[in-house]
Amino acid sequence: MTAVPPSCQILDGKALAQKMQGELKQEIAQLVAQGHRSPGLAVLMVGDNPASAVYVRNKEKACEKLGMVSFGKHFPVDTDQETLTAAIASLNEDERVDGILVQLPLPDHLDAVKLLHTIDPGKDVDGLHPVNLGHLVRGEDGLRSCTPAGVMALLAEYDLELTGKNAVVLGRSILVGKPLALMLLEKNCTVTIAHSRTQNLADITRQADILVAAIGKPEFVTADMVKPGAIVVDVGINRLELGEGKSKLVGDVDFAGVAPMASYLTPVPGGIGPMTVTLLLANTVASYRQRLGL
C-alpha cells in the first residue's frame, strides 16, 4: 500500500472482517454444540466471469471456515431463466438453506431483477429483494445489502460521528449507492446521491464530510474533489491490466493523491471488499437465527 501521511488514518476493513468472522465462528460453534444444525448458504453463479469466480470461491471458503454449509451451484453460461428460477424455488423450499445469493453480474440474456424477486425474502442475504429494500426505506429491521452494511459497520468500528454530516454517495446502483444513501440517512447524515449525469460534480463532492465512491471508474476521485479532512470510503474494485500478464487492483479513488486530503480513507484491497463477504456471512447467521427462532 502507498505510504499514508500521519494526518490520514486507514479504515482497515480486512482487520475488522477478521475480527467479525472470528466472532461469527464462535457463535456458530456454540449453536452447533447446543445441538442445532449449521447455517447454510447457497451462492448461484452463471458463466465463467473470472472475477466473479474468485469472489464466489472466496465466499464458499469463508463459509466453510466459519462452520457453515455451502450449497453453491455453478451453471453454464447458456443457462436459461426458467432453469435458474426452478433452482431458486428448490432452494427456497430447502430447510437446510438459510441464505440464497445470485452472484452479479449475470450474462446479458438473463433478467437479474426478475430472478431476485423469486428469492424468499427471509433467505435474501444480499438484501436486494423489494421486501428487504422496503424495510430499509422504512427504517425497519431486515436483511440489508452486504456492501453498504459493510461500509456502515466499518464507520461504526472507528466511532466516526455521522449525525449532521454532509455525505455524498457517488453512484446510484441498487447494490450499493441507493441502499447506502438510506443507511447514512438513518444515521442522520444529510445525503446527496451523485452520478454520471450530475453537473459540477467536484463542487458537490468538495462539500462532503463523508465521500463514498461507488461508480466503478478506476481512480476517478482525485484530491481536487475532496474536502480537507473528509472521510473517504472507496467501494470500487477495478483490475487494471498493466501488460505482460501483470495487473493491479485499484479502487474508484486515487489513493496516493487523496490520502493527504482525507482524515480517514479505506484502501483497495483490504477495505470494503472483505467487509462485503463478512456481512454476507453475518446476514446468513441472522437469517438462520430468525428461521430457527433462536
Cell of 50: 473470472
Measured from the Cβ of residue 27, the count of other Cβ atoms closer than 10 Å reads 16
Quick check: 100 binds ligand LMY7XDAE (CB under 6 A)?
Answer: no
- Binding residues for ligand LMY7XDAE, how many (CB under 6 A)? 19
Selection from 140, 138, 141, 120 nearest residue 129 by Cα? 120
102 binds ligand LMY7XDAE (CB under 6 A): yes
Q: Is 144 annotated as a binding residue?
A: no
Residue 237 touching ligand LMY7XDAE (CB under 6 A): yes
Is 276 among the residues that bind ligand LMY7XDAE (CB under 6 A)? yes
**Tally of CA atoms within 13 A in the half-sphere of 248 that contains its CB:** 7
Question: Residue 153, interface with ligand LMY7XDAE (CB under 6 A)?
Answer: no
- Residue 272, annotated as binding a ligand: no
Separation between Cα atoms, residue 90 and residue 44, nearest integer Å: 12
Grid coordinates of 293:
427462532
Of the two residues 41 and 268, which places its CB atom closer to ligand LMY7XDAE in the complex? 268
CB closer to ligand LMY7XDAE out of 77 and 202: 77
Contact with ligand LMY7XDAE (CB under 6 A) among 21, 38, 79, 103? 103
Interface with ligand LMY7XDAE, residue 184, by CB under 6 A: no
Contact 274, 237 (CB under 8 A): no
Give the C-alpha separation, 117 to 230, whole Å.
37
User: Which of 55, 220, 255, 264 forms a contact with ligand LMY7XDAE (CB under 6 A)?
Assistant: 55
From 100, 210, 277, 286, residue interacting with ligand LMY7XDAE (rule: CB under 6 A): 277
- Spatial CA neighbour of 144 closest among 153, 136, 152, 134: 136
Q: At what angle do helices 146-157 and 13-33 cross, to 10 degrees?
A: 100
Q: Does 53 bind ligand LMY7XDAE (CB under 6 A)?
A: no
Contacts of 117 (CB under 8 A, 6+ apart): 129, 130
Positions annotated as catalytic residues are: 59, 103, 126
Question: What whole-number distance in Å separates Cα of residue 192 and Cα of residue 253?
Answer: 18
Query: Where on the chain is the footprint of ligand LMY7XDAE (CB under 6 A)?
Result: 54-55, 101-104, 126, 146-147, 175, 237, 249, 268-270, 273-274, 276-277
Numbered residues of the known binding site: 171-173, 237
